[in-house]
Structure 1
């Protein structure tokens, strides 16, 4: 286990991004009809998609660093 603290420092924000994604997904699901009436549903879905993409890219970056031995 090389640089265990560095791994934790990079993983904590990444895990937080997934938790925020889950929380916002629940929010959009619970308030979907109201968001649709206000014409805000598409912007919330776009935000969710972008947040998921950023979280996934962060995960792949961390995994590649671990495989390369940088972490």
Structure 2
């Protein structure tokens, strides 16, 4: 029984890592694109692309937050 529990815990840990690493990369993209938008705001406004970039940045942030929420709810439920 103990061996089976250890195997299950290792699988859950591997699943957690497999879900958390891409989520961390999503947050890194939010930060990177945030700096890009802030750094190039005046040029993006000149060519009327600023709103699109802010919208994409907002969508990426929402996707990252939703991913974090799902991961934490799965961990609490014991799925991963």
* Range of TM-score over shorter length: over 0.9
Query: How many residue pairs get matched?
Result: 71
- Runs of 4+ with deviation above 6 angstroms: none
Correspondence 1:57 to 2:66:
yes
- Name the larger-Rg structure: 2
Correspondence 1:39 to 2:48:
yes
- Unmatched 5+ stretches in structure 1: none
1:22 to 28, 31, 42: 31
- Shift of residue 15, structure 1, vs aligned partner: 0.4
- Unmatched 5+ stretches in structure 2: 1-7
- SS of the equivalent of 2:28 reads helix
**More helix by percentage:** 2
Cα RMSD between the aligned structures?
1.1
The CA distance in 2 between the partners of 1:49 and 1:28, in whole Å, is 11
- Shift of residue 55, structure 1, vs aligned partner: 0.3
TM-score between the two structures when normalised by the length of structure 2: 0.86
- Shift of residue 65, structure 1, vs aligned partner: 0.2
